[in-house]
């Protein structure tokens, strides 16, 4: 899948659904085996694409629930190499697109070219590197483009409009719109203010829009219909996993559509 093919997939899928759902897992949490089973359940529940997080010791964009999952995975002895192996197995088993999510330190320590080459070989479609501004990522963006992979860039409510237009030029696939200041998992107000922010995002890029941070229930998904192409569910699925197990996650995700 070339970079533009991810975007094409989103627009095509959107013709048949009023909004797409992207989920998030932390690889190696609760274990490698259960990570795979969780992905399988999410795919069976009908999610449209997924981000696979490589655990990091200081995940600055993540709230306490995902932070705890990162820490437990690392305590379990999860490695970047092991995560990439499992991510490749997942991407080559299930038909939806999979993206890596992590932080630049992980990519840099692995080796930028090696990391991007590995993603390509393992049929991953791109990456969300949450703490990498374009000005500091020239080698990464160059390698991603060379391999036809999608560097997913992020907008936030505090990003000036001209800055949005500028950073959009570095991205491909879709733009991840962060719903509010702060970390994942906290409460998000689904309000007129959010609508105005998304309208600004829409004017800044021609790429599909995804919204994450605080999307928790069907009412949030319904609110986002017609405003973004993708709703991102991350922290809430981990909460459900801890409470109700993998089967509970599957039922929860199915319920977002009905």
Domain that holds residue 171: 3-255
* Token code pair at residue 241: 């996993």
pLDDT of the residue at 66:
79
Are 6 and 51 contacting, i.e. CB atoms less than 8 angstroms apart?
A: no
Catalytic residues: 51, 62
Of 30-44, 47-61, 101-115, the poorest mean pLDDT is in 47-61
Above 60 in pLDDT, residue 256? yes
pLDDT of the residue at 73:
87
Cα–Cα distances in Å, from 18 out to 11, 59, 63? 11, 32, 29
CATH number at residue 10: 3.20.20.70
pLDDT of the residue at 159:
94
CA 132/CA 180 separation, integer angstroms: 18
pLDDT of the residue at 97:
98
Phi and psi based region of residue 152 (left: phi greater than 0; alpha: psi -120 to 50; beta: remaining): beta
pLDDT tens digits for 136-161? 999 999 999 999 999 999 999 999 99
Above 50 in pLDDT, residue 170? yes
**Number of compact structural domains in the chain:** 1
20-26 and 98-102 as β-strands: parallel, antiparallel, unpaired?
Answer: unpaired
Above 80 in pLDDT, residue 134? yes
Report field, pTM of the whole predicted structure over 0.85: yes
Question: Span 209-214, mean pLDDT?
Answer: 92
Label residue 108 by pLDDT band (50, 70, 90).
Answer: very high
């Amino acid at each position: 899948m070339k970079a533009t093919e991810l975007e094409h997939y989103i627009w095509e899928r959107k013709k048949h659904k009023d909004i797409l759902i992207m989920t998030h897992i932390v690889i190696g949490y609760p274990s490698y085996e259960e990570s795979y089973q969780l992905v399988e359940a999410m795919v069976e529940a009908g999610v449209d694409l997924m981000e696979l997080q490589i655990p990091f010791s200081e995940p600055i964009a993540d709230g306490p629930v995902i932070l705890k999952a990162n820490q437990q995975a690392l305590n379990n002895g999860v490695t970047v190499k092991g995560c990439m192996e499992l991510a490749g197995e997942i991407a080559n088993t299930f038909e939806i697109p999979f993206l890596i999510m992590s932080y630049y330190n992980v990519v840099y320590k692995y080796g930028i070219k090696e990391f991007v080459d590995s993603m390509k070989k393992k049929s991953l479609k791109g990456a969300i590197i949450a703490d990498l501004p374009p000005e500091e990522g020239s080698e990464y963006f160059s390698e991603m483009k060379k391999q036809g992979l999608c560097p997913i860039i992020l907008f936030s409510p505090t990003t000036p409009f001209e800055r949005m237009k500028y950073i959009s030029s570095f991205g491909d696939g879709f733009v991840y719109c962060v719903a509010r200041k702060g970390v994942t998992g906290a409460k998000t107000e689904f309000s007129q203010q959010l609508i105005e922010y998304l309208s600004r995002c829409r004017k800044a890029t021609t790429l599909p829009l995804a919204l994450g941070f605080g999307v928790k229930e069907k009412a949030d998904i319904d609110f986002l219909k017609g405003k973004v192409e993708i709703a991102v569910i991350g922290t809430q699925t981990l909460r459900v996993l801890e409470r109700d197990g993998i089967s509970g996650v599957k039922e929860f995700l199915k319920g977002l559509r009905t």
